[in-house]
């Protein structure tokens, strides 16, 4: 069915927006294509409609209102168009309360595409893919399939969803009521694909709204007034459930917990952490404290004090989301990190083959980590070819949907048992 969105009622793709509705789709998502080549618009809409998207396209951005652009769930955007170019559109989106996920397409040099992608991310936009023209329908199909699988997963709700707004006081009360839970995402060795670790990811079992994921509350949890207490609370939960895993499965791999720099404010934190490890009989060497690179202060003697003393006591320290910050090499020089986690953005872009710079970054990060005698973990691993490629470039550990989604302890136990029995697919078997 074709429905025209323009007041003149025309159906010419050169002077109107053409919309195609897949009425059989159980989930409605909007995808908008802005490209001055009608055949590209037609190709993208054809592919997107097979995934249940309600699609629209325009060959002239001037024909589309800013609100229509902002209201899309996915925006497929050509960088070079007559009049308003793609960079202007990206710039305008930063002022919107609802921001679509972005797919950038262009016949420009790939380095220009990558630069535009980085510019969008710096401005807080999420770029889910970059395609260089000419591209095959299969490339768009793979990108949208990955997107749909990701947003359909409960731990990754669709972008732009507006949920309840919380305060520090709300989270303090939730801590007192013990409403937070932990899900574990498994990690496997790229040498022999054995199960070697888990990352603890916090969730809020809200009495009214049900299970909430970090995007609903983490910015409040990382407030300086709450961050340390919240982090210690999550560590206690994770350690208790890790002990349950150990007792049920004989699992003795690593446990990773993220700690925001706003929580690294008390030089006595190491003295408070070690008793928690002893209480749950978790050796310090099995515990990994992850610190995100792009939120590390340029110079903070308290952070250096804490991380150094943790390392002295056997606790491992990881630099998370490596490559997304502005001073990663300085941090590697200053801090005794034991592990380097390559950000999923680079891994996903490298696995599409559309971003040579991302491929080079992953390869260089793996080599750098090994030169510094660090364990190298790749996040966001979503298919078997990526596993094989990461192994070939020297990454040590893989984490992502190809391995296993974040899951409650009881589901992780079932995952491990099924994997041992050879049931399932991918690295889950």
Q: Are 259 and 289 in contact (CB under 8 A)?
A: yes
Sheet containing strand 127-132, edge to edge, reads: 2-4, 18-20, 53-58, 29-34, 74-78, 101-106, 127-132
Question: What is the rounded CA–CA span in Å between residue 398 and residue 374?
Answer: 15
| Tens-place pLDDT, residues 115-159 | 788 778 777 788 888 888 888 888 899 889 888 877 655 544 444
H/E stretch holding 284 reads none
Which carries the bigger pLDDT value, residue 351 or residue 423?
Answer: 351
Domain holding 395, by residue range, is 168-428
Question: What is the rounded CA–CA span in Å between residue 109 and residue 131?
Answer: 11
251 and 138 within one domain: no
218 and 93 within one domain: no
101 and 222 within one domain: no
Highest mean pLDDT among 8-22, 185-199, 293-307, 340-354: 185-199
Q: What stretches of 51-179 adopt beta strand conformation (E)?
A: 53-58, 74-78, 101-106, 127-132
Predicted confidence (pLDDT) at residue 395 exceeds the cutoff of 90? yes
Structural domain contains residue 208: yes
Q: Is the pTM here over 0.85, yes or no?
A: no
271 and 236 within one domain: yes
241 and 98 within one domain: no
Assign 7 a pLDDT band (cuts: 50, 70, 90): very low
* Stretch 265-292: mean pLDDT: 93
pLDDT of residue 415: 94
The domain boundary, picked from 128, 152, 176, lies at 152
pLDDT of residue 12: 36
Average pLDDT, the chain: 82
201 and 124 within one domain: no
Residues contacting 249, CB < 8 A, separation 6+? 413, 416, 417
The domain boundary, picked from 152, 181, 215, lies at 152
207 and 65 within one domain: no
Domain count, the chain: 2
Q: Are 79 and 116 in contact (CB under 8 A)?
A: yes
Domain with 128 in it: what CATH number? 3.40.50.2300
| Tens-place pLDDT, residues 178-234 | 999 999 999 999 999 999 999 999 999 999 889 998 888 988 998 888 999 999 999
Token pair in block for residue 169: 């006081």
Structural domain contains residue 74: yes
Question: What is the rounded CA–CA span in Å between residue 257 and residue 59?
Answer: 47
93 and 236 within one domain: no
pLDDT of residue 38: 93
* Stretch 294-298: mean pLDDT: 55
């Amino acid at each position: 069915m074709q429905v025209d969105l323009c007041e003149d009622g025309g159906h010419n793709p050169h002077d109107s927006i053409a919309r195609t509705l897949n009425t059989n789709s159980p989930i409605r998502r909007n995808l908008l294509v802005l490209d001055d080549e009608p055949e590209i618009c037609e190709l993208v809409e054809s592919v997107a409609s097979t995934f249940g998207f309600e699609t629209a396209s325009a060959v002239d951005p001037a024909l589309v209102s800013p609100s229509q652009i902002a209201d899309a769930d996915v925006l497929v955007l050509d960088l070079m168009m007559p009049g308003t170019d793609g960079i202007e559109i990206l710039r305008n989106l930063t002022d919107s309360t609802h921001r679509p996920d972005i797919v950038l397409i262009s016949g420009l040099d790939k380095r220009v595409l990558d630069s535009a992608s980085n510019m969008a991310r710096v401005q807080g936009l999420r770029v889910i893919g970059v395609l260089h023209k000419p591209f095959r329908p299969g490339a768009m199909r793979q990108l949208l399939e990955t997107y749909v699988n990701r947003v359909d997963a409960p731990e990754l709700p669709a972008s732009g969803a507006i949920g309840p707004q919380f305060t520090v006081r709300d989270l303090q009360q939730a801590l007192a009521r013990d409403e937070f839970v932990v899900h574990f995402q498994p990690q496997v060795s790229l040498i022999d694909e054995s199960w070697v670790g888990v990352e603890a990811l916090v969730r809020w079992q809200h009495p009214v709204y049900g299970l909430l994921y970090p995007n609903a509350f983490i910015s409040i949890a990382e407030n300086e007034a709450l961050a340390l207490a919240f982090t210690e609370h999550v560590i206690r939960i994770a350690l208790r459930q890790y002990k349950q895993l150990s007792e049920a499965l004989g699992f003795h791999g690593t446990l990773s917990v993220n700690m925001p720099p706003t929580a690294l404010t008390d030089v006595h934190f190491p003295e408070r952490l070690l008793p928690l490890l002893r209480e749950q009989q978790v050796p310090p060497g099995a515990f990994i404290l992850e610190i995100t690179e792009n939120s590390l202060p340029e110079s903070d003697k308290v952070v250096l004090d804490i991380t150094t003393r943790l390392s002295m006591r056997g606790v491992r320290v990881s630099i998370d989301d490596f490559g997304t910050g502005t001073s990663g090499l300085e941090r590697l020089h200053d801090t005794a990190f034991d592990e380097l986690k390559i950000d999923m953005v680079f891994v996903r872009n490298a696995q599409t083959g559309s971003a040579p710079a991302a491929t080079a970054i992953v390869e260089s990060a793996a080599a750098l980590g090994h030169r510094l005698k660090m364990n190298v973990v790749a996040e966001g691993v979503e298919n078997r070819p990526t596993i094989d490629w990461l192994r070939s470039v020297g990454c040590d550990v893989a984490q992502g949907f190809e391995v296993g989604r974040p899951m409650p302890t009881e589901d992780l136990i079932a995952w491990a048992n099924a994997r041992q029995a050879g049931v399932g697919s991918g690295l889950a078997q």
